[in-house]
C-alpha cells in the first residue's frame, strides 16, 4: 500500500547557483507555496544549487551530460530519473540545456520554465546585453509552459522592470532576478492549486484562456 502525498511534488532542474530554486524553497518553507520539492537534479556536479538543496534537506541527484554521447541518450536517462520521483510538476530553474523533443513530450503540460526577457522578445541567451544594445526602456522576466519551440511555450506570467540610465548587463540582470523570485513561486502555486493548466490553445488560468500573459503589476494591484 502506498501513502498518498499530502503536498504537490516538484522536480527542479538546475545548472548553476539556484537562486530561483532558493526562492521556491523559501516559499514552500514559509507556507506561501502548497508544494514540496521532491528532488533537485543538476547536469553540473559543481552547481551551487546542490548545496542549497542539501542545506534544505532536499534529495538531489547529479546527471552529468558529459558522460553521454549525445543529447537524446542523456535526455532519455534524465527523463527516467525525473519520473522515478513521480513529480506533479517539472520546474526548469536555470537548467542550461536545450531539451530534446522526446523529453519535452514526456512532461508536456507539467513542465515550466522561467526566462529573463519579456517573451516573445529575446529568446535564447544574453538577454540583458541584447536589451541594452537595442536601447529598450523596459526589460523583465516570463514564466511559460515548455514546448518544443525554444522559449516559445504558452506564456503565463510576466514581470517588467525599467532599464535605468547607467545600467549594465549585471545591474539589469539583478533587477530582473528579483522579480523572477516572485513570479516563479506564484505560477507554481497556481499549478499546485489546480488553477492553471495547459490546453490545446494555450495556458488557462481559472478556466480562462490567457491570450496575453498576466502582468505582475496587475496582480499586485489586485492583492494577488
- In 3D space, the residue among 124, 184, 178, 173 whose CA is nearest the CA of residue 152 turns out to be 124
**Which of 115, 128, 139, 181 is the catalytic position?**
115
> Would you say residue 123 lies in a domain?
yes
| pTM, full prediction | 0.95
> Would you say residue 1 lies in a domain?
no
CATH number at 122 reads: 3.40.50.170
Q: What pLDDT score does 15 carry?
A: 98
> Would you say residue 78 lies in a domain?
yes
For residue 18, which phi and psi values (nearest 5 degrees)? 80, 35
- Rounded to the nearest 5 degrees, what angle is found at the Cα of 76, between the Cα atoms of 64 and 50? 35
User: Can you give the residue range of the structural domain that contains 146?
Assistant: 8-221
- Average pLDDT, stretch 2-9? 65
Which residues in 113-131 are b (16+ Cβ under 10 Å) and which e?
Answer: bbbbbbbeebeeeebbebb
Which grid cell sits at 198? 495547459
Using the predicted structure, report yes or no on whether residue 4 has a pLDDT greater than 50: no
- In 3D space, the residue among 105, 103, 59, 108 whose CA is nearest the CA of residue 85 turns out to be 59
- In 3D space, the residue among 153, 192, 171 whose CA is nearest the CA of residue 34 turns out to be 192
Number of domains the chain contains? 1
- Measured CA to CA in angstroms, residue 118 lies from 25, 47, 224 at distances of 25, 26, 20
Span 87-114, pLDDT tens digits: 999 999 999 999 999 999 999 999 999 9
DSSP string, 61-119: EE--GGGSSSHHHHHHHHHHHHHHT--SEEEESS--SPPPHHHHHHTTTSEEEEESSST
- Rounded to the nearest 5 degrees, what angle is found at the Cα of 96, between the Cα atoms of 91 and 102? 65
- Rounded Cα gap, residues 190 and 213, in angstroms: 14
Whether 46 and 199 have beta carbons less than 8 Å apart is answered as no
Average per-residue pLDDT in the chain? Answer: 96
> Would you say residue 91 lies in a domain?
yes
> Would you say residue 74 lies in a domain?
yes
- Rounded Cα gap, residues 142 and 214, in angstroms: 10
Span 52-82, pLDDT tens digits: 999 999 999 999 999 999 999 999 999 999 9
Active site residue 115: yes
Beta bridge partners of 90: 11, 111
Using the predicted structure, report yes or no on whether residue 3 has a pLDDT greater than 50: no
> Would you say residue 26 lies in a domain?
yes
> Would you say residue 177 lies in a domain?
yes
- Average pLDDT, stretch 141-152? 97
Q: What pLDDT score does 6 carry?
A: 63
- Measured CA to CA in angstroms, residue 74 lies from 69, 70, 151 at distances of 8, 6, 21
> Would you say residue 2 lies in a domain?
no
- Average pLDDT, stretch 116-141? 98
Cβ-count burial of 65 within 10 angstroms (0-12 exposed, 13-18 middle, 19+ buried)?
middle
Q: What pLDDT score does 2 carry?
A: 38
Amino acid at each position: 500500500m502506498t501513502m498518498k502525498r499530502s503536498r504537490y511534488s516538484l522536480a527542479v532542474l538546475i545548472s548553476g547557483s539556484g537562486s530561483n530554486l532558493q526562492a521556491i524553497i523559501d516559499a514552500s518553507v514559509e507556507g506561501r507555496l502548497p508544494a514540496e520539492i521532491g528532488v533537485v537534479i543538476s547536469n553540473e556536479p559543481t552547481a551551487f544549487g546542490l548545496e542549497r538543496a542539501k542545506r534544505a534537506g532536499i534529495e538531489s541527484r547529479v546527471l552529468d551530460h558529459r558522460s553521454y554521447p549525445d543529447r537524446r541518450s542523456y535526455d532519455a536517462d534524465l527523463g527516467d530519473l525525473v519520473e522515478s520521483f513521480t513529480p506533479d510538476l517539472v520546474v526548469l530553474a536555470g537548467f542550461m540545456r536545450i531539451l530534446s523533443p522526446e523529453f519535452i513530450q514526456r512532461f508536456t503540460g507539467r513542465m515550466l520554465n522561467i526566462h529573463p526577457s519579456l517573451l516573445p522578445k529575446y529568446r535564447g541567451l544574453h538577454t540583458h546585453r541584447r536589451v541594452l544594445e537595442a536601447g529598450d526602456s523596459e526589460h523583465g522576466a516570463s514564466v511559460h509552459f515548455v514546448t518544443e519551440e525554444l522559449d516559445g511555450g504558452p506564456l503565463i506570467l510576466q514581470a517588467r522592470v525599467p532599464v535605468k540610465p547607467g545600467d549594465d548587463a549585471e545591474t539589469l540582470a539583478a533587477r530582473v532576478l528579483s522579480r523572477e523570485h516572485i513570479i516563479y513561486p506564484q505560477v507554481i502555486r497556481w499549478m499546485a492549486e489546480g488553477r492553471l493548466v495547459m490546453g490545446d490553445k494555450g495556458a488557462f488560468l481559472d478556466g480562462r484562456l490567457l491570450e496575453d500573459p498576466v502582468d505582475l503589476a496587475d496582480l499586485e494591484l489586485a492583492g494577488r
